Structure 1
Amino acid sequence: MAIEHCMPRKAWHLPFLAEPDEVPALRRSMRTHLTRWGLPDLIDAALICVSELVTNVIVHVGAGTPATMAVSMNGSYLRIEIHDPDRRALPTLLGATTTSESGRGLAMVTAVSDRWGVMPTDAGKTTWCEIASALCGDDTHLDGPQVHRADALLTLYGGSASRTGSSPQLGRALAEEAAIALIADLLHWFRAHGQDPDTALDRAQVHFEAESGTVG
């Protein structure tokens, strides 16, 4: 039986000033986190949402406005929130149409996300959107041939991790230790065959980034 291991996807917040020059950095942060979370298929849609939601703050609230981007999982949905201190733009956001000058960004968000909205807060407002993933829950992983091969190998290394009756937290910890042990043994194998373990790691990283779509 394959080891059931989960990927923690801890919510994160990134304060920023609503300036055009900040958008590329926010997009890079989003790409990095989604890659680490094992959600590369959501990157393109998420980057569009980040660009449009932040641009909305720049245009309708004002350049230089202090804001925050918050990213989390809502069940199997990726949730992106942009917090800003101005509640006055709320009616314009809700009433915007695809033909109005002020609503085109949110029309893009509508096109690439599954749902979005605006809600007032004590500190201003939050504009949010959610993008569906193929996950069964916020603590599972996407299936793929690489994952299935790894599961098969980890079964050999983490016998106790696959026993029934273990808590999810314990099962995850045992699976992670089994994965580390497997990597360490493979590095020993490379060294025993006259190869540089660091070079092997570098090559593996290149393969990983290429398959995850993170190169370039």
Structure 2
Amino acid sequence: MARYQESGCVQRRPWEVPFTAEPRVVARVRRAIRLHLSLWGLSDLEDVAQVCVSELVANVITHVGPGTPVTLAVSTDGAHLRIELTDPDARTMPTLLAPTPGAESGRGLMILDAMADRWGVISRPDSKVVWCELATGPEASREQPTNPRVAQAEMTIVRHRSLQCSSSEEVSPLATAVAETAAIDLIADVLHWLHAHGCDPDEALDRAQTHYEAELEGARPGNGHV
């Protein structure tokens, strides 16, 4: 049940998060992808990926409508970073057009086409997926072997910084999903570290679960805690 690698490397597990496509959410989506790319060792793609995500969300807001439920999915096969945005409108298909001079819209797909290595649309009976891919480069195509102690500390700092940036914002399904993913990844990172140092991850999880349950029991009213 524990997922770890023999090498102790950081795994780039695919992730996805549903949210509502609205202008005020775009900044949170950008932070989410920046966080994950930093954890994956793909910081050099952060700026381009954030622009691509912004344009994908903006395209839905403009052509499908604000408040549309969408799902963002991000993954990598080692050679490319793939970003997908799924929305429920199978009728409105994005088309790359050359906007007229002075046009205030219609440039989103031109930006996506210019920045991504490739992009496209997958049509489904009740939805569509607009995707783009960015080349990760030969060095980023390999898992990043690093000292587990250093990796754990660095990732914890990155996550902490990300949570600080959004601490003043309202709690949203997107923010909750990002925080949950970060927490799960942190647990997995600790399992990597334990395994790399000859410890039994399953035994450690059992002991942690025992401590957690004991603390919950001790914190209940009537158990001597104020």
The bucket for the TM-score relative to the shorter chain is: 0.5 to 0.7
Alignment of 1:132-171 (within 5 A): 132-135=135-138, 140-141=143-144, 150=147
> What SS does the aligned partner of 2:83 have?
strand
The match for 1:61 is 64
8 A Cα contact 1:67 1:84, kept in partner: yes
8 A Cα contact 1:96 1:102, kept in partner: no
**Closer, same or farther: CA 4–98 of 1 in aligned 2, 3 Å:** farther
**Closer, same or farther: CA 134–177 of 1 in aligned 2, 3 Å:** farther
Distance, in Å, in 2 between the alignment partners of 1:12 and 1:43 is 16
C-alpha deviations, 1:73-112, integer Å up to 9, x for none? 134211000000112221xx23423547653111111122
Alignment of 1:36-47 (within 5 A): 36-47=39-50
Distance, in Å, in 2 between the alignment partners of 1:29 and 1:15 is 12
Paired amino acid for 1:131: L
**Closer, same or farther: CA 179–17 of 1 in aligned 2, 3 Å:** same
Matching residue within 47, 51, 55 for 1:48: 51
The match for 2:106 is 103
RMSD: 3.1
Per the TM alignment, residue 10 of structure 1 is displaced from its structure 2 partner at its CA by 1.0
Paired amino acid for 1:62: G
The match for 2:162 is none
Paired amino acid for 2:125: D
> What SS does the aligned partner of 1:58 have?
helix
The match for 2:26 is 23
8 A Cα contact 1:9 1:139, kept in partner: no
Aligned residues: 152
Structure 2 regions of 5+ residues with no counterpart? 1-5, 151-188, 199-226
Mapped pair 1:88 → 2:91: yes
